[in-house]
Structure 1
Amino acid sequence: MKAKKTTGLLVVVLVVIALIVASVVSYNGIISKEAEVESQWANVESKLQRRYDLVPNLVNAVKGSMAHEEKVLTSITEARTKMAGAKSVKDVSTANTAMEGALSQLLVVMENYPELKSNENVKTLMTQLEGSENRISVERDRYNTAVKEYNVTIKKFPKSIFAKMAGFDQKVFFEADKEAESAPVVDLEN
């Protein structure tokens, strides 16, 4: 009888220990995935900041030659202001779409100014901007991959139980704004 009690107690203790170990492993796994998402977001923000810093130099380089294209330059300035004020992933995504649209307009307008395309400062800035855009794209993809892995982790059983208990919520993907589906329109007649 005593042996049955001891065996039963031992089984209960082993089950409790297994649950504790599973909880710790699950929690630590989720924390690691969350840290990866945060790290990737920081990478996205650093690349967006690089572009954000390049834009005023580009605008200043072309401003003198494009004085009558004030609308395009204004849209770039407004987009840059949106980027500066964006805090959440959704806000940054929306501001990023505005910035991409404004820069696209600038590129279209620059086609009408051959002297700008041959200007060394403008060429250098455009090359740097192109590099920034590529880096942003890569980091955005890496961020979205990290978000997907994190979201899957907190949804899979048994980690989903621990995720809910610990208050882990899904992360938001960096997605293009709905406006990004249509190309920007540049009116060179006005």
Structure 2
Amino acid sequence: MYTLTLILLPILFCISFTFMPESPYYYFMKNKPDKARSSLIWLRYGEDIEVEYKQIEVAVQEDMKNVGNWKDLIATKKDRRALFIVQIVCLTRCLVGISAFLVFAEDVFAEAGQHMFTPNQQSICLALLFTLTSSVSSFFSDTVGRRKLLIYSLIGTVISNIIIALYLCLLELTSLPVRSYVWIMYAGLLAFCIFTNIGLDTVNANC
């Protein structure tokens, strides 16, 4: 039932997005300045758009003059280094296990042994936590710096992964009464959500 309910969200998005105009940048690229102005007026909803309109027009003209191709990614040593860094960041984001954890979150919660909330309810709380931390962390990428955020994020993610893995291994492979310490796993999970979102997810999205 929960999964069926979630279908409504993308359906509502698809219906509502049909009323969204094309980007002013797109209209300028297609040499349709009148439609670009109409689009910007719609998007800014009554604000003065003249300054921004001119800025977009100049920016698009500059971009159209300097058309690049895929060879520019590896044209110089700096370009190759930048491409390598971006690929490493993307690969690291996949290898920390965030995608696998989101897919199997309900199974993890079922194994954890906490019965105050159902695994379904805990999965919903996890999604809300990810949404909240993602919204907050996006404000820090420019103020703190992407490099620092990545370093803090990686260190925190490694530590929280170790905590979660250690708890689940002790629960599965030993007879120790670890269920009474389930809060340790949830503390690791909370740290995992926060540290993943403050750096790996945010910086990866900006790459």
Shorter-chain TM-score bucket reads 0.3 to 0.5
TM-score (norm 2): 0.31
TM-score (norm 1): 0.33
Select the structure of larger CA radius of gyration: 1
